[in-house]
Chain A
């Protein structure tokens, strides 16, 4: 079974600075997707960024980028120029790319606080 581990329960960063959230996962699969979801205090689940395992290039979405290290099974999220609105829980998630398996497996989350 796949597992996702987020080793940082809480982190904080000053506004405008850069922060990196860690995520590691365990799988024997070769093809899969990885995601970062954001859950602000309003409790919505918002997709931040996604990565396909067969793509070597790291995904980037504006201020958000990932460092995908497939051999190390690591998928960290970097937030540049942090803003107060980035304060939220961040969840790393894994999805197998295989017929018959459609469930996202989530980590326990990292609570990020951006301080003014």
Chain B
């Protein structure tokens, strides 16, 4: 059973460009979470999605950032007009049901390292 798949592993963009990060959850998982890890920091929650629905986006910056999880295909985290401060590791996690708690913990992908030149 394949784990959470994120691509690309590394992404380099110039300031002002768009970055698209993809996440395919584990088979059978319908809940996706995105986290951001700045250098020397822990992970910070960004957004929680189910198929075709954003459930909690309380951690998303108000501008330039958006996320979707369509009926078919991977979840996408999109960052428009990137700036240097967007450089970070972006992790996706999935769980089979709401909560991602002890019995069904959130499983993480390997992350996408975004570098802004």
Contacts and interface: CB of A to CB of B under 8 A. Distances in A.
Interface of A: 4, 33, 35, 37, 42-47, 50-52, 91, 95, 97, 99-109
Contact of B42 (A46, A101, A108): A108
Nearest to A46: B108
Nearest to A32: B101
Nearest to A53: B102
**Which range contains the number of B residues in contact with the other chain?**
20 to 34
B100 A102 contact: yes
Contacts, number: 69
B43 interface: yes
B111 A43 contact: yes
Contacts of B44: 106
A104 B102 contact: no
B41 interface: yes
Contacts of A46: 108
B42 A91 contact: yes
Interface string B51-76: 00001101100000000000000000
B23 interface: no
A108 B40 CA distance: 8
